[in-house]
Structure 1
Amino acid sequence: MSRKPASGAVVEGIDFDRWAVVLCKPDAVERDLVDAVLKRIEGAGVCVRARTTLIAEPWQAHVAYRDMLADPGRFPADLPARIDDAYSGQRVTVALAHGGPDIHARLRRLIGHTDPTKAVVGTIRGDLGNDSIVAATRAGRLVRNLVHTSDDPASARRDFGTWYGPGRTLKISDFDRCSVILCKPDAVERGLVDAVLERIAATGATIANRREVTVQSWQAHVHYWDLLVDRDWFPDRDIPACLDDAYAGRSVVVALAYGEPGVHARLRDLLGHFDPTQAAPGTVRGDLGDDSLAAALAEKRLVRNLAHTSDDLAAARRDFGTWYGAGRRDLLIPELPAQSTAAEA
C-alpha cells in the first residue's frame, strides 16, 4: 500500500530555508509592474531566478489561498468566487528568490501590509499599490496588492509545488552552478559536519541532498585519482594504502552546494590551504583544522583537512558520479522553463 507524502512534501532537493517563491499577482501583470517588483526584491540583496509567466488555473489559486478558504468564519461566504474572479485565466508571474535563512521574513517586510493604504513608504505595496481593503470590500472582490512571497519554509515548499509543479527542481546549467561537498572522515569523527556546512551556506550557497556514505575503496581511488596517477611524487608514502587507511569503510558526509557561476572558486577559497597550518583565519581549515602537512609527512599518511569541494565544472561532474552515483541525475534538477507555453497563447 502506498503512503501519501507528508503535507507539503511536494518536492525534494531544495533548501526552502533559503528559497522563497515570489508571486506577482494579476494586478502587477496588468499594471506592468512585474519588473519593478522583482527589481525591488533584487535591490534588497536577494537573487531572483527562474522567472515564469503563466495563466493561473483555479486549483492553483485555491491552494494559494487555502488558509482563508478553510477558515470561513473570518471571511465572506463568497470568498471562493472572489478568488476565481481574481485569478482564474489571468496572467501571473512567479519567480524564485534565494537568500539567507531569514529570507522569508525579509521579503514579507519588503512587500508590506496586506492593505496598500496601510503599507509604509519604502515597501512595495506602500510605494506601488493603488488599492485598499475598503475599496475591495465595497466592490465585493479581493484587494489588489501586487505580490505575495512565501511566509516560511513550509509555505515555500507548497508554493513551489503550486506554481512550478511537484517533482521539479531548481534550474542549474549542468554542473557550472553545482559543487559537491565532501566532509571527510576527520570532520565526521570530530562532529564538525554541521559547522562546515553552515560556513558554506553562509556564502549564499544552497545546501541540498545531504547524505552519509560509508566509503568504498573505489570511491577514494576515483576521488583522489590525481594522487594515484602522480604517486611517484610521493616516494616516502604508499598512496593507495594511505587512501584505504584514511577512507575505506569510514563515514563521510556529502552534500550538493548550488550557487551562481563561480561557486567552485568561491568555495575553494572558503576552505583555505590544504595544510591547515597554512590556511588563513576565516577559512574552514584555518579556523577548524587541527592537523598539519608536517605531521602527516612524519606519520606517512594523508593530511586531515576536514572538507573538499569540487575544483571546477568537470570535477563537480566526476565528484557527483563518485559520491551519488551516475544514475542519480534526478537530484540535479530538471530545467525550469523561462516562460510557460500557456502564457504565450
Structure 2
Amino acid sequence: MRYLVTGAAGFIGSHLTRNLLLSGAEVVAVDNFSDYYSLDLKRARESNLISPLGLNISRIDLADGEQVTKLLNSYVFDSVIHLAAQPGVRVPLSQHQRYISSNLTAYANLLTKVRENSIPNFLYASSSSVYGNSNDQLFSEQGSITDPLSFYGATKLTNEVLARSGRHESPTRTRGLRFFTVYGPWGRPDMAYFRIIASLLNGFEFPQYGNGSVLRDFTFVDDAINAVVKLNVQLSSEEEGHSDVVNIGGGHPYSLMDMIETLQNLVAKKVKTNLSPTNPNDVIRTCADSQLLKSLVGTSPATSLEEGLSEVVKWAQRQDVQSKLTAWCESVS
C-alpha cells in the first residue's frame, strides 16, 4: 500500500505517518511547514517520530495547484489521507486568509486531482466544530444539525459538502474524519492541555478562557490514529464513489476544570492562570456519538483522560521537551 499523508509535520499527521511506516506501508509525507506555531516543534516531530524510520517530509504547498499536480502525477497512490489544514477556532479575522488558503484552496486542489487520478480512497480531517452548539446529548453524523460557530468550523463543513457533491464524477471514495479534541504527546501548543502542562512544569501563565465549565470529548491520539487506519481499510470495501463522514470520539466529555484538576494531581502542583472572557468561537460542549465508528471498525476511543494525560506528562518531562515547552507555547497566541 502506498499512502500520501498531508500535514505530516502536524500533530495527528506525524503520529499517523509513524504508524503507517511501522506497519510496513510505503508513505509519501508532505507539509508546508506553516508558521502558525513553532517550526521547531514541527521539526522535532519529524526528527523524533518520522526520520528514524527512514523518511523525510517533503515541503509542498497544496494551495499551489501546480505543486499538487506534480505530486500526484509522480506516484500511484492507494490512499490519500489529508490532514493538512489551518487548525484552531481563534485565528483573528485579520488572518482568516490562513483558513481560506489551507482549508479551502488547498483542499479543493487536492480533492480535484485525487478524483482526476481515480485514487481509490481519500480521507480528510473534518472536525467536531461543524456541529456548533448542538443541543443533542450525542452529536450524530446522521441526526445532528451542523451549524458551526467559527470560520474554521465552516471551512470543515465546506470540505464535507465538496466531497459529497462531486462523488458521481469519479470512482474515488471519500470519508470525512470528524475529530473530537485530539490530545497527546507532540501535540499543538495552542491547545489547553499543552499550555496547562507548560504552566505546571515551567511556570508558563496559562491563558484560561471562561470559567472552565466548557465540556470536551477528549480523544487520545493513539485512539484517533487507530480509528483512521481502520477506517481507511474499511472504506476500501465500500462501492466506488462512496462518500460519508465519521465521528472520531469516545462520547465521554470532561470539563476544562476536570482536565486542570487531573493534571495538577499528576504533577502535584497548581496551575498558574490568566483568566480571560469566553471566546465566542468556543462551543459550550462536544460529545461524539460513536455508534457509526463502532459499526464500521468494531472499536471506538476508550483511553481515559487520566491515562492519556499521564502519557503526555511523561513526554513533557523529557529534558529535551520540557526545556522547549514555554517557547513552543509562546510561539502562538
State TM-score, norm by structure 1. 0.23
Whose Rg is larger? 1
Which gives a bigger RCO, structure 1 or 2 (Cα 8 Å, sep 6+)? Answer: 1
State TM-score, norm by structure 2. 0.23
